[in-house]
Structure 1
Amino acid sequence: MRDLIKILFNLHNFQLIELEFGDLYISNDDRKYYWLVVEQSDLSKVIELQDEWFEKCKEHIVTKEFDKNTSLLVLANNDKNEIQKKEILSIEEDPFQFKKYVLLFTSHILKQLLEQTENGNPEKILELIVNESVFNEYKNNYLEPTWRHLLYNLAHKLPFIKINVEVNQTLENLFEEAEKTLVEKGLLEYSAFIEKQHEKDMFSNLDSLDIDELIELLDNKTENGN
Structure 2
Amino acid sequence: MKNLIRSIFNIHDFELSELDFGDLYISNGDRKYYWLVVEQNNISRVLELQDEWFEKSKEHIDTKEFVKNTSLLVLANNDKNEIKKKEILLIEEDPFQFKKYVLLFTSDIMKQLLEQTEKGNPEKILELIVNESVFNNYKSNYSEPSWRHLLYNLAHKLPFLKINVEVNQTLDNLFEEAEKTLVEKELLEYSELIEKQHKEGVLSELDNLDLDELIELLDNKTDNGN
Query: Normalized against structure 1, the TM-score is what?
Result: 0.80
Match of 1:113 in 2: 113
1:73–1:103 Cα contact (<8 Å) kept: yes
User: Identity across aligned pairs (percent)?
Assistant: 70
Aligned residue number for residue 159 of structure 1: 159
- The 8 Å contact of residues 23 and 38 in structure 2, kept in 1 or not, is answered as yes
The equivalent residue for 2:47 is 47
Q: Deviations over 1:19-48 (max 9, x none)?
A: 010000011121211000000000111111
Hey, what does 2:76 align to over in structure 1? 76
Which runs of no fewer than 5 residues in structure 1 stay unpaired?
Answer: 200-226
Q: Tell me the TM-score normalized by structure 2.
A: 0.80
More displaced stretch, 84-93 vs 182-191: 182-191
- The number of residue pairs the alignment matches comes to 198
Aligned match of 1:203 = none
Whole-Å separation in 2 of the counterparts to 1:44 and 1:148 = 26
Partner of residue 204, structure 1: none
- Separation (CA, whole Å) in 2 of partners of 1:183 and 1:138: 29
Q: After superposition, what is the alpha-carbon deviation per residue over 1:83-135, rounded to whole angstroms, capped at 9, x for unaligned?
A: 01111111111111000000000000000000000000111101110001100
C-alpha distance in structure 1 between counterparts of 2:183 and 2:60, whole Å: 34
Q: 1:25-40 maps to which residues of 2 (within 5 A)? A: 25-40=25-40
Letter aligned with residue 39 of structure 2: E
* Structure 2 counterpart of 1:170, from 169, 173, 177: 177
| 2:115 matches 1:88 | no
Please give the alpha-carbon distance, in whole angstroms, between the structure 2 residues aligned to 1:171 and 1:61: 38
User: Which residues of 2 match residues 130-149 of structure 1 at below 5 A?
Assistant: 130-149=130-149
> Which position in structure 2 is the counterpart of 1:206?
none
Q: Distance in 1 between matches of 2:55 and 2:16?
A: 17
Q: Structure 1 CA distance, aligned partners of 2:181 and 2:97? A: 27
Q: Whole-Å Cα distance in 2 between the matches of residues 56 and 125 of structure 1?
A: 32
RMSD: 2.3
Q: Is the 8 A contact 1:21 1:38 kept in 2?
A: yes
- Aligned residue for 2:214, secondary structure, equals coil
CA distance in 2 between partners of 1:109 and 1:9 (Å): 21
* 2:15–2:26 Cα contact (<8 Å) kept: yes
Distance in 1 (alpha carbons) for counterparts of 2:221 and 2:12: 34
* Amino acid corresponding to residue 192 of structure 1 in structure 2: D
Shift of 1:166: 1.6
Q: Distance in 1 between matches of 2:181 and 2:100?
A: 19
The 3-state SS of whatever aligns with 1:16 is strand
What CA distance in whole angstroms lies between the structure 2 residues aligned with 1:57 and 1:174?
39
Alignment of 1:191-202 (within 5 A): 191-193=218-220, 195=222
Confirm whether residue 14 of structure 1 aligns to residue 14 of structure 2.
yes
Structure 1 residue 189 displacement after superposition: 1.9
